[in-house]
Amino acid sequence: MDTKQALRRYEELSPSFSETRECKLVKEIITCLEEKNGPDRFTEAVKDYDKISRLDGWHTEVLVKVKKHCEEDDEEDLT
């Protein structure tokens, strides 16, 4: 299932989810990956979220993996 489709499904199941900080973070991460903005915008989005709601170890670990994937995509585009 496509990430955007999954997100839309969650928003349909719970309309209030669209206005949550979590939903906004996921949308920002998706945009970073799609636009290949590199890790800087990704890092900034995560930092902004973490300033208000501290991320636990599991979430941090998952986000680090996503960021590495983003960085790998950037490197492939340069070759």
For residue 75, the model assigns a pLDDT of 59
- For the stretch 11-24, pLDDT in tens is 999 999 999 999 99
CA-CA distance, 3 to 66, in Å (whole number)? Answer: 13
Q: Does residue 28 contact residue 44 with C-beta atoms inside 8 Å?
A: no
Helix, strand, or coil (residue 36):
coil
Q: Does residue 71 contact residue 63 with C-beta atoms inside 8 Å?
A: no
Mean pLDDT (whole number) for 37-49: 86
For residue 77, the model assigns a pLDDT of 57
